[in-house]
Amino acid sequence: MRSVVLIRGLLKGMGREAPCDMLAMKDAASETGPVFYSRCCVIDAPHGLPDGVYVVTFSGHVVAARKEGGLWLPECATSPLQIEPRASRPNDSSEIAQIIEVLPWLKNDHVA
């Protein structure tokens, strides 16, 4: 069964620790089987957290999270992820371009 869930987690990274809210796709083959989370994206976290790589922990799960240019970028799944150091990623990150394409109002600096 697949559903979208709101998750309250603990965000850690960049020398900080703070509570956060995250949306994720929850996949479970059965009520008693393993649960997997994908398309995890931080939707609410304290303002002022610096850009960088973070982890979110919740209910025994750990997912990667990344903040770039003040925006939280979605990560893929709760399985271990390979995160490239920022210096080794190209400047024109395709993930950022995809986010801006999906949310065109971000192009006009209408971010709260």
Domain boundaries, the chain: 2-83
pLDDT at 60: 86
Question: 43-98: per-residue pLDDT in tens?
Answer: 999 999 999 999 999 988 888 899 988 899 876 544 433 444 445 545 554 444 44
**From CA 81, how far away is CA 111, in angstroms rounded?**
28
**Mapped to the 3 state alphabet, what secondary structure does 63-96 carry?**
EEEEEECCEEECEEECCCCCCCCHHHCCCCCHHH
Question: 12-28: per-residue pLDDT in tens?
Answer: 999 999 999 999 999 88
**From CA 96, how far away is CA 11, in angstroms rounded?**
21
Tokens of 5: 């869930």
H or E segment at 101? Answer: helix 94-102
pLDDT at 15: 93
